[in-house]
Amino acid sequence: MPPGRAGRWKTALRHAPAVLGVALLIGAVYVVQREFRSLRIADIHAALLQIRPHALLAAFGWTLAAYGVLTFYDRLGTYYAGHAVSYRRVAFASFCAYALSHNLGFAAVSGAAVRYRLYAHWGLSPPQIARVIAFCSLTFGLGGLALAGTILFVEPGAVPFLGARAPRWAMYAAAALFWAIDLGYIAASRVLPHFRLFGHEIVLPGWRMALLQVLLATVDVAVTAAIFHALLPAAPGLNYLRFVGVYLASYSAGLIATLPGGIGVFDGAMLLGLEPYLPAPRVVGAILIFRLYYYIIPLFLAGFLFAGNELAMRGRSLLRGGVVPIGRISEPDFAVAAGAGAVALCGFLLLALGVLEQRPDYSWIDADFAAVAAQAGAFIPSLIGAALMVLAAALSQRVNLAWSATLTLLLLGAALMVAQDEPLWLPGVLLLAALLIAPYRRAFYRHARLLSGPLDAATAVPLLTLGVCILTLAAFERHVRWLSDNSFWEVILSPDVSNSLRASVALTVVLALFALWRLLRPRRVNWAPWDAAQRLRYAALGAAPPAAAEGVVWGEAERAAIPFRRVGRTLLALGDPAGPADDRVSAVWRLRDLAQQEGRAPAVWGAGRDLLDVYADLGLSALPLDEHGRVLEAPVTPSPPASRRYLVCAAERDLPALRRLGEQPPVGAGE
C-alpha cells in the first residue's frame, strides 16, 4: 500500500470511534425527538408518580447488589495478578473506579487512573496493576457475550432492529459464536497458560478462574438490568430475558459511542427497544430513576470518598515526615474528572427541568427576585444547563475560567430552583456539585483562550457573538414565557410556536454554545526546538542540559522548563523540570497537554522523588531505576525504595518499549 494511502487509513481508523459516536448520537437524537413529538411533560411526571415505593426500594437494592458484584472483579483480578488485597480495599477501589467510568465513558481509561493510584499505595507493581485492569475489562466482555448468546438463542426477537428482520438461523449462529468465544477462552486457560501477542506476553488465569469470570460477569449484567426492570410496570410480551436483550443492546451502543454515561444513545435505544411494549412516558420515568441510582448518586459518593482518602493519605505522609511538593497546583485527576462529570449531570438535570411539574410559590422571597424567577420559567435554567455541559468539557481540560464560571452558574441555578419552589433535591444536587469542585481551584491551572493573550480577531469575534446571542435570547424570552414548559429545546420542538421563532432560537443557542467553547478552550501548548539559545536559557536555571533533547516545554509562567524527545508513541521528558518550584508543576502538566495534542503518551526518564505525587495525578506510575539505568519493577509505595531516579510512564501500555531504553539511557551525558 502506498505510504500516502497508508497514512490516510491510519488517520481514518484513529477518528473512526469519534465518527461512530457522533453517528450514534445523531440517531439517538432523532429517536428521542420522534418520541417527544407526542409526549407531554405532564405524562412523564404522572409516570414518575406511578412508580411504587416498593419498586424504588427494589431498584435501590439491585443497585447495591450490582456495585457489590463489581467488587469481585477486582478481587479476582488481584488474585490473578499474584498480589491479593483485602476485600475492604478492593471494594473501595472498585466502587471509585466504576462510579467514575460509568459516568465519564472510556471505562478502561477512567478506571485505570483510579486503580493505579490506589493499588500502587497498597503494594502492587505497575505490571500487576495492569493485569488487574486487563482482567476487569475482559471479565465484563465475557459476561456480555454469554448473556447475549443466551438471549439470541432463547429470545431472538428481543434484539432491537434485528430481532424481527434477521432469519432465525443467523441469530442462532451468532449465539453459537458468542458461546464459542467464552468456551474457547476457558479451554485456552486450561491448556495454554501463556502466549505472546504483538510482542506482549499474555498470561491466562486457570480454567476455574476463567469459568468464574464468565459466571460473575453474567450475574453482573443481569443484576444491573434488574435495576431498570424493577422500575417498569408489567407489560404483555415483555419478560425479563427479552428486556435484558433490549438493555444489553442499548448499553453496548452507549459504550461504543464513548459518550459520558452513554448519554442520549443509551436512552434513545431503550426508548426504541421498549416502544412495542410500554408507553414512552413510563420508559422515560424509569430512565431518570435508573440514572439517578446507578450513575448520579454513586458518582457523588465516590467523589467525596476518594477526596477524603487522598486527604487521609497525605495526612499520614506528613505525620511520617513525608515531603509534599512546594507550590503544587494539581489535585488528583479523579477529583477533577468526578467534578466535571457532576457538572455535566447538573446541566442535564437543568435541561430536563420541565419533566418535573412546577408549582411556583414566590410569596416567601423578595418580590423583585420572585418576579425574575417567575419570568425565567424553564427558559433560563435550560440555557444554564446547556452552558454547564460546555463548561464540563472545559473543566476536564483544567481551564481556570471554567472553574469560576461553573461555580457562578451552579449557584445561580440553585437560587432559581429554590425561588421556583422546585423539589429541594434539585438545588441540593447543584450545591453538591459546587462543593465538589470548589476546593480544587488550583487544579484548574490552564488559561482560557479569552485570557491568554491580547484581544485579537480570533477572540473578539466569539466574544462579540456570545454577547449578541445573550441579548437575543433575552429578547426571545418574552415571546415564549406564555408556554407552560418553555425550556429552549421545548420551544424548538413546540408546534405552538412559529417556525421562524423556533429556527431563530435553535440557531442562537448553537452559536452561543460554540462561541462559549471557543472562548473557554485552552490555548495550544507551544514548544521550542532544542537549539543553542534554549540550551543556554535552560542552563541558566541551574540544570545540566541533556544532550539528546529535541525540544523544551516551558511552564505557564515561563520560568521552569522540561526538555523532551519523542520515543515511539511517547513524549519522553528528560528528567524533572528545572526552575522555581511554583512553575515546575505547570511545566509537567503542559508536557502532558503537548503529548495529548500529538496523540502520544507522556513519560519521564530520570524523575526525582519530589514530583512523584504530581506524576501520579496524571495517572502515571513510577518505577525506580538502578545505578545502570535499568528498570526495577517495584512499586512506589508511601515508603518508596531508596532510589535517586525513576521512570514515570503509563506502565500498562508503554513500559515494555521504554524498558529497552535502560541499555542506552536517553538523558545523555549532560545529566
Chain segment 490-544, per-residue pLDDT in tens: 777 777 778 888 888 888 888 988 888 888 877 778 899 999 899 999 999 888 8
- Three cell numbers written together for 654: 508503554
Average per-residue pLDDT for the chain: 75
Query: What is the C-alpha separation between 339 and 67, in angstroms, rounded?
Result: 21
Query: What is the C-alpha separation between 595 and 572, in angstroms, rounded?
Result: 9
What are the tens digits of pLDDT across the range 131-160? 888 888 788 778 778 888 888 887 776 666
- How confident is the model at residue 411, as a pLDDT? 92
Query: What is the C-alpha separation between 208 and 585, in angstroms, rounded?
Result: 47
Query: What is the C-alpha separation between 372 and 419, in angstroms, rounded?
Result: 9
User: What is the domain partition of the chain in residue ranges?
Assistant: 3-303, 333-520, 528-663
The answer to whether 138 and 202 are in contact (CB under 8 A) is no
Residue count (the chain): 671
Amino acid in position 397? Q
Query: What is the C-alpha separation between 116 and 653, in angstroms, rounded?
Result: 13
Query: What is the C-alpha separation between 179 and 249, in angstroms, rounded?
Result: 17
Query: What is the C-alpha separation between 320 and 95, in angstroms, rounded?
Result: 28
Region 565-572: mean pLDDT is 88
- How confident is the model at residue 321, as a pLDDT? 42
What are the tens digits of pLDDT across the range 56-95? 899 999 999 999 998 988 888 888 888 888 888 888 888 8
Query: What is the C-alpha separation between 501 and 486, in angstroms, rounded?
Result: 13
The answer to whether 611 and 600 are in contact (CB under 8 A) is no
The answer to whether 306 and 440 are in contact (CB under 8 A) is no
Q: Identify which of 75-84, 112-121, 345-354, 656-665 has the greatest average pLDDT.
A: 75-84
Give the Cβ contact number of residue 196 at 10 Å. 8
Among 175-189, 195-209, 310-324, 426-440, the minimum mean pLDDT is found in: 310-324
- Three cell numbers written together for 573: 521528558
User: Where would I find the H helices in 576-639?
Assistant: 581-597, 612-617
Amino acid in position 266? F
Of 587 and 141, the one with more pLDDT: 587
